[in-house]
Amino acid sequence: MSEKNPSVKTLQDLLNEGVEGRGVLVRSDLNVPLDDNGEITDPGRIIASVPTIKALVDAGAKVVVAAHLGRPKGEPEAKYSLAPVAKKLSEMLGRNVQLAGDVVGYDALSRSEGLTDGDVLLLENVRFDPRETSKDEAERAKLAAEFTELVGDDGAFVSDGFGVVHRKQASVYDVAKKLPHYAGNLVATEVEVLRKLTEDPTRPYAVVLGGSKVSDKLAVIEALAPKVDTLIVGGGMCFTFLAAQGLPVGNSLVQPEMIDTCKDLLERFGDVLHLPVDIVVADKFAPDAEAKTVSASEIPDGWMGLDIGPESVKRFSALLAEAKTIFWNGPMGVFEFPKFAEGTRGVAEAIVTATEKGAFTVVGGGDSAAAVRALGLPDDDFSHISTGGGASLEYLEGKELPGISVLEG
């Protein structure tokens, strides 16, 4: 990252300066999914966060990790405690990771003061403090000042939570204004990958978008459609496009207010925009629903589309086989139900094949990354799996990411 943007210092710059005996605050993205028993179902983000933390530990820093989990309402909630994360992080680092009983309170402060070289302290969920996500800059600044107290006068800040860099929050943005700041390995890698997708991608360039709502992906469609050779649309969002073509969609998920927008997109980008030609429909939204495959133009009344069909997979795979650069964000169907996971699996396997043939392939975080792992596909079957779905999309839309821009100062 330093070579591309010399104004942003990296973890290596910090290590070169020396961290032995210094307190270092690391903002990681440890927002992992939990099951009903509080067990981690996909540790991908923890795995991705370990290298930066380990490098600091090995160099003798006193590491204080800040992270969030879920969306608590600015106060402690047991189900959002980082306790399972502390346990998993301890396993992966091969050393005890203390969990503070609060964010910046008495327990966090006393534990941070007791750290010795190479120790790791994980603060409790930063979103338990309402100031973390406050729109009031003064409130966020107060919390940021309390974060800095945890690492002392010669402390440093390492931004390594790419999944939150699009948020102007105390532990992401404001704290970087108070401490010498550096991009962690994960953030530096993510930005480098996204630059490859935006600045000079090797062509043909294909983008695959899925997920439920057109509104969630509208800005990225607008930004990328003029720049790509192929734009594939699947998932729940495809039904609003089919409705825009005047086709029956039964009880499928549709955003009526987006139909005119989809008509406009089809008119402007019809030469690169590809929709499913067949759909797996169900009589209800359930894993045991009755299912059948129909033409995309013949979805029957009372039925809902829950996946793309085999002919669509075949056509999309043929398009992806030609691509030299692929960005994928969003599943093709309700992959959580095995009966409706084959469309996502087929597209994922086509992207794996493209990777094997030398294409640069990026999975854009969020549900796409979860789908890859749920389908049992190894991470290294792709060139890169992003840890930040929303941040990736905003970068590709051309938006400024506050958590990155603040590192440039």
Degrees to nearest 5, angle at CA 48 with 170 and 235: 90
Q: Is 366 annotated as a binding residue?
A: yes
Q: Is 45 annotated as a binding residue?
A: yes
The tokens 């020396």 sit on which residue? 18
Q: CB-hemisphere CA count at 13 Å for 86?
A: 19
Catalytic residue flag (residue 177): no
User: In angstroms, rounded to a whole number, what is the distance separating the alpha carbons of residues 226 and 316?
Assistant: 19
Q: Is 35 annotated as a binding residue?
A: no
Q: Is 305 annotated as a binding residue?
A: yes
Q: Is 69 annotated as a binding residue?
A: yes
Q: Is 336 annotated as a binding residue?
A: yes
Q: Is 381 annotated as a binding residue?
A: no
Q: Is 368 annotated as a binding residue?
A: yes
Catalytic residue of the set 366, 388, 389, 403? 366
Catalytic residue of the set 101, 105, 118, 390? 390
What string of H, E and C letters represents the secondary structure of the chain?
A: CCCCCCCCCEHHHHHHHCCCCCEEEEECCCCCCECCCCCECCCHHHHHHHHHHHHHHHCCCEEEEECCCCCCCCCCCHHHCCHHHHHHHHHHHCCCEEECCCCCCHHHHHHHHCCCCCCEEECCCHHHCCCCCCCCHHHHHHHHHHHHHCCCCCCEEEECCHHHCCCCCCCCCHHHHCCCEEECHHHHHHHHHHHHHHHCCCCCEEEEECCCCHHHHHHHHHHHCCCCCEEEECCCCHHHHHHHCCCCCCCCCCCHHHHHHHHHHHHHHCCCEECCCEEEEECCCCCCCCEEEEECCCCCCCCEEEEECHHHHHHHHHHHHCCCEEEEECCCCCCCCHHHCHHHHHHHHHHHHHHHCCCEEEECCHHHHHHHHHCCCCHHHCCEECCCHHHHHHHHCCCCCHHHHHHHC
Q: Is 367 annotated as a binding residue?
A: yes
Q: Is 81 annotated as a binding residue?
A: no
Q: Is 260 annotated as a binding residue?
A: no
Catalytic residue of the set 54, 177, 213, 227? 213
Q: Is 394 annotated as a binding residue?
A: no
Q: Is 153 annotated as a binding residue?
A: no
Q: Is 167 annotated as a binding residue?
A: yes
Catalytic residue of the set 22, 45, 88, 140? 45
Q: Is 365 annotated as a binding residue?
A: yes
Catalytic residue flag (residue 366): yes
Catalytic residue flag (residue 213): yes
Q: Is 31 annotated as a binding residue?
A: yes
Known binding-site residue numbers for ATP? 217, 305, 336, 365-368
Known binding-site residue numbers? 29-31, 45, 68-71, 127, 167, 217, 305, 336, 365-368
Known binding-site residue numbers for substrate? 29-31, 45, 68-71, 127, 167
Known binding-site residue numbers for (2R)-3-phosphoglycerate? 45, 127, 167
Active site residues: 45, 213, 366, 390
